[in-house]
Chain A
Amino acid sequence: MGKNILTSWLVVTGKDFKILYKNRYLFLIYLAVVLSIILLALFIGLYLAPVMLSFFPPNEYLPALPNFMVYFVIFTSTLYLMSMGAASFTKERELGTSDRIKTMNILPSTMIFGKMFFYYLVALIQAIIFNGISIFFFYEVNGMQIWMNWNVSNFFEYVFLWPLVMVCGAGVLFALVTQIGRTTRKAVA
């Protein structure tokens, strides 16, 4: 092995950060879209919800609307990151760079984990921002909730679970896309 596994892993992660930096304008557009959804959530939460409360009889769901909006933003951005991750794997295969890395004596698992780690970090940063927003604007309590008999804190949910879901989803999407690609190639052949 040319370098140890951890170094190679970090090199792959670093490469993806560099690609992100090179495509920073696209990423900024993505962030702008996400932020505009958050602003919409703020608008609904801070201005519309109190107005709506005067029209509808009081219920326990309406005050929680902004929180649902934040969840919606997290969910959609996670899905988006998931598809970006899967597309990135597929692009590496298309370009042939993953094969080149493989011939440079790097284990495929090192490359996959390196890439997944990058998307995990991006999802993590995103989750921390959203968590901050929900606490700051919507006074969400960083308390505990029960998930399948487990006591899970909101922090744990944002920081570990959502990014993890994103990374696993990206892996599954990639596997699906690759399988479809193979089937198409066979059909063409």
Chain B
Amino acid sequence: MEAIIKVKNLKKSFKDNVILENLNFEISDGESFGFLGPAGCGKTTLLNILSGLIKPSSGEVWINGYSMNTNASKARRFISSVPQTSALYSDFNAHDNLRFFGSFSPLPAKKVKEISLEALDLYELTHEAHVPIKELPYSYTKRLSIAVAMVTDPRIILLDSPTEGLDDRSSRVITDGLNLLSNRGKTIVLTTSYTREINTVCRKLGIMNNGTLLALDYLENILSCFGEQNQIELEAEGLENIPIDIIKKQLFCSVPIESIDKFGSTLLIKLESTTEVLSIILEALGDSGIPVKNIRLSEGSLENVFYKLSGRELRD
């Protein structure tokens, strides 16, 4: 796939304080990409540079082939940015905000209205559309903020911590909406310190710490590279007497397994998805005459990956 965002040797510093250091990456068209990192690691600065709000100290950013340094106006055509704050007019209601920001869209007014209504529906705001923003709870304004980003029908949507501080329902509404946009071919780039967003929205991610990219790859590659796949731990009677090869033969035929290890009477199975294949594994072990006593499921954790990479916790 063609790269819609290209970043080369990007650096940003404020006097002696280095915020971003030598970043190089590409994001393909239609990809959902996440930057994961703790607060203060430079995620927002990176997003501000990508949206053309601040200039880098050195290096270059290209959006769909247009350089942000020399051709920012053309590059910005493809972008819509959702900042960390709601960035809406508090005296206006949802309709007014959508109409105002939509008036800068190159699309015809009728199309903008259509998109606005769809965005309100997508983010479950139709019933609150006439309530002034200052009277709405934070979670609603955050959802509206993303809806407003849709009115210009951009190819790239940049989101700064879209679900931070939100309840589970609002987070789900936002991630569902972003997944829908991603399925329609929009490029989603988000920054977050929550692994939940990455797991539900992003296919590819960059792990950041202190202004540098520690890792950049597809989610499953990063998890498997750091031994953080989903795993099932099974304890069974008489397992120590059964050779591992027999168990492997039995299970590899039935389900897609990455690795199997045996430690005494415990079997450690690493695989892509735990919930879908658990019943098949239990059935296969039952057929082999291995009675399972205990089961423990654990999912791959990006928090652990971050700890392994940086030696610190993702959130204090």
Binding site for B on A (CB under 8 A): 1-3, 8, 11, 15, 18-19, 22-23, 95-97, 99-106
Q: Which residue of A lies closest to B51 (CB)?
A: A103
Q: Given the known A-B contacts A1-B73, A2-B104, A2-B152, are A103 and B52 also in contact in the complex, defined by CB atoms under 8 Å?
A: yes
Distance in angstroms from B179 CB to nearest chain A CB is: 23
- On whether the beta carbons of B80 and A104 are closer than 8 Å, the reply is yes
- On whether the beta carbons of A99 and B100 are closer than 8 Å, the reply is no
Binding site for A on B (CB under 8 A): 51-53, 73, 76-77, 79-81, 83, 85-92, 96, 100-101, 103-106, 132, 148, 152
Q: Given the known A-B contacts A100-B101, A103-B81, A106-B104, are A22 and B91 also in contact in the complex, defined by CB atoms under 8 Å?
A: yes
- On whether the beta carbons of A103 and B76 are closer than 8 Å, the reply is yes
- On whether the beta carbons of A18 and B92 are closer than 8 Å, the reply is yes
- Contacts A95-B86, A102-B53, A103-B81 known; 12 new A-B pairs at CB < 8 A: A19-B91, A22-B91, A22-B132, A95-B88, A96-B83, A99-B87, A101-B104, A102-B52, A103-B80, A104-B76, A104-B80, A105-B73
CA separation between A2 and B152, bound complex, in Å?
9
Q: Report B-chain residues with C-beta under 8 Å of the C-beta of A22.
A: 91-92, 132
CA separation between A102 and B73, bound complex, in Å?
10
Distance in angstroms from B1 CB to nearest chain A CB is: 24
Q: Given the known A-B contacts A99-B53, A102-B53, are A3 and B103 also in contact in the complex, defined by CB atoms under 8 Å?
A: yes
- On whether the beta carbons of A104 and B53 are closer than 8 Å, the reply is no
CA separation between A134 and B30, bound complex, in Å?
65
CA separation between A19 and B100, bound complex, in Å?
12
CA separation between A15 and B52, bound complex, in Å?
24
Q: Report B-chain residues with C-beta under 8 Å of the C-beta of A106.
A: 104
- On whether the beta carbons of A104 and B85 are closer than 8 Å, the reply is no
Q: Given the known A-B contacts A3-B106, A95-B87, are A104 and B73 also in contact in the complex, defined by CB atoms under 8 Å?
A: no
Distance in angstroms from A20 CB to nearest chain B CB is: 9
CA separation between A105 and B79, bound complex, in Å?
9
- On whether the beta carbons of A11 and B103 are closer than 8 Å, the reply is yes
Distance in angstroms from B63 CB to nearest chain A CB is: 11
Distance in angstroms from A15 CB to nearest chain B CB is: 5
CA separation between A15 and B86, bound complex, in Å?
18
Distance in angstroms from B103 CB to nearest chain A CB is: 5
Distance in angstroms from B15 CB to nearest chain A CB is: 9
Q: Which residue of A lies closest to B77 (CB)?
A: A105
- On whether the beta carbons of A100 and B73 are closer than 8 Å, the reply is no
CA separation between A95 and B148, bound complex, in Å?
15
- On whether the beta carbons of A105 and B104 are closer than 8 Å, the reply is yes
